[in-house]
Amino acid sequence: MKRFSPLFLALGLTFSAQASDGNDVEVLHWWTSGGEARSVDTLKEMMKREGHVWRDFAVAGRAGESAINTLRIRALSGNPPDAAQIKGPEIQEWGKLGFLASVDDVAKEQRWNELVPHRVSDYLKVDGHYVAVPFNIHRVNWLWANADVLNKVGVQPPQTLDEFFSVAEKIKAAGYIPLALGNEPWQETTLFELIALAVMGTDEFHKAFIEQDSDALTSNKMRETLEVFRRMKQYTDIDSPGRNWSDTTSLVIDGKAAMQMMGDWAKGEFLAAGKQAGKDFLCIPAPGTANQFSFNIDSFVFFKNGATQTTESQKMLAKLILDPDFQREFNLSKGSIPVRVDIDMEGFDACAQDSMQAFLRAAATDNLVASLSHNMAIGRASQIALFDVISRFFNDDNVDIDETMRHIRAAVLADRL
């Protein structure tokens, strides 16, 4: 018999949904690019080996926006999947509404409290109970470059924003696209975030986007961030409207563009195309952010779905995600670093080694920052509003900076409504 959450009942929603029989698990996620699919296939295989059936519900696009919209419709009609990819503050939003099942049993058995850094595990709990299981730690503030293109142009990868502009000018003059950017609001907001980190510094960034301080959201540093952001547009390519992130990475892989600023899931695309870190492509911190680490943690949650307790398949899935072998396999191809603190980094490439060092350094110096563009800093309502403001500003040179700062403040503060 399917069990409905109080919210379904309040809304009068009692759709009959097929309860899973305990041996299969339907998983809603958005890992569909070449690198992403390769990584999640590892988990599908492991589930199969353990005798469970993975029913795939993949919804491509917009770094999860389309998947989350589909998830909302399904959950509100009383037919949620068994597991879904949700992260950051949104885990709390779903948990507080009573949708999510606890995986405390698995967490206790596998000693998650000892294996996962507290900065990460805080995101995974609702009222002290684990309701989500983490895969990895992605670093968002990276710049990816095609080594051959930089060589031909005779430039070094830029380490500061000033260097970025002088290098981009030379790349443009040589006939390449300096900065590959697909014009989807989340891609634009990723670029905005990385500029904000460099211009504002960690403290001011934190004040503005995490503490949601009204003055910091409209400060001179915010103005400067927007000015730099607008200036970068001339170095992006005109074919960018609507292009997804992995096709955008392909421009760098194929040597049509020199650079992309994107989280390290981009590395998964280089690897899937058979490219080698340090030889074919370079990974350097986004200009001006070498000391900072903008983190983005992928996680799955489990829906209360029919049974009164988590099913065997849901439990097995939770368990496998933190299995040491899976942590290695998955993160080697996904581009992220393992979320377990005890995984040997032997065999990981230079980008992953750098990422691990950067994480430890940033943790020790208070330079870890929850990613603004990847649902780690603000809730969904704010996120959607912010994407809209940033995209409008970037795409229309007539949009006023002061007005945009007021809109940014309103978008971020919407979280408190």
Which of residues 221 and 275 has its CB atom nearest to ligand BGC in the complex? Answer: 275
Asked if residue 78 lies in contact with residue 8, where contact means CB atoms within 8 angstroms, the answer is yes
Q: Are 161 and 228 in contact (CB under 8 A)?
A: yes
Tell me the three state secondary structure of residue 293: strand
Position with the least CB separation from ligand BGC? 265
Does 30 interact with ligand BGC (rule: CB under 6 A)? yes
Candidate list 64, 78, 158, 185; residue touching ligand BGC; CB under 6 A: 64
Residue 237 as a binder of ligand BGC (CB under 6 A): the answer is no
Place of tokens 């060589």: 151
CB of 281 to ligand BGC, least distance (A): 17
Q: Is 250 in the site for ligand BGC (CB under 6 A)?
A: no
For the beta carbon of residue 166, count every other beta carbon within 10 angstroms: 11
Per CB under 6 A, contacts with ligand BGC among 120-159 are 138
For ligand BGC, which is the closer residue by CB, 80 or 335?
335
**20 or 248, CB closer to ligand BGC?**
248
Count of residues touching ligand BGC (by CB under 6 A): 10
Q: How far is the CB of 132 from ligand BGC (least distance, A)?
A: 13
Q: Quick one: which of 5, 25, 27, 36 contacts ligand BGC (CB under 6 A)?
A: 36
Let me know: does 369 contact 292? Beta carbons within 8 Å.
Answer: yes
Return the number of the residue (319 or 374) whose C-beta is nearest ligand BGC.
Answer: 374
Q: How far apart are CA 40 and CA 26, in angstroms?
A: 14
**Can you give the length of the chain in residues?**
417
Q: Is the CB of residue 144 less than 8 Å from the CB of residue 225?
A: no
DSSP class of residue 178 equals E
Instruction: Using DSSP, state whether 373 is helix, strand or coil.
Output: coil
Report how far Cα 122 is from the mean position of its chain's Cα atoms: 17
What is the rounded distance in angstroms from the CA atom of residue 310 to the CA atom of residue 316? 10
Q: How far is the CB of 29 from ligand BGC (least distance, A)?
A: 9
Q: How many CA within 13 A on the CB side of residue 357?
A: 11
Closer residue to ligand BGC in complex, CB, 13/384: 384
- Quick one: 381 or 413, whose CB is closer to ligand BGC? 381
Please tell me whether residue 267 binds ligand BGC under the rule CB under 6 A: no
Minimum distance, C-beta of residue 206 to ligand BGC, in the bound complex (Å) = 20
Count the neighbouring beta carbons within 10 Å of the beta carbon of residue 255. Answer: 14
Sequence-ordered list of residues with C-beta below 8 angstroms from that of 3, at least 6 positions apart, any chain: 304, 306, 307, 308
Q: How far apart are CA 260 and CA 267, in angstroms?
A: 11
Judged by beta carbon, residue 63 or residue 199, the one nearer ligand BGC is: 63
Task: Please give the Cα distance from 199 to 288 (Å, whole number).
Answer: 8
Of the residues 28, 63, 232, 252, which one makes contact with ligand BGC according to CB under 6 A: 63
Interacting residues with ligand BGC between 272 and 301 (CB under 6 A): 296, 298
Q: Which is nearer to ligand BGC, 296 or 311 (CB)?
A: 296
Interaction between residue 265 and ligand BGC (CB under 6 A)? yes
CB of 383 to ligand BGC, least distance (A): 11
Tokens of 264: 């390290």
Contact residues: ligand BGC, CB under 6 A: 30, 36, 63-64, 138, 245, 265, 296, 298, 374
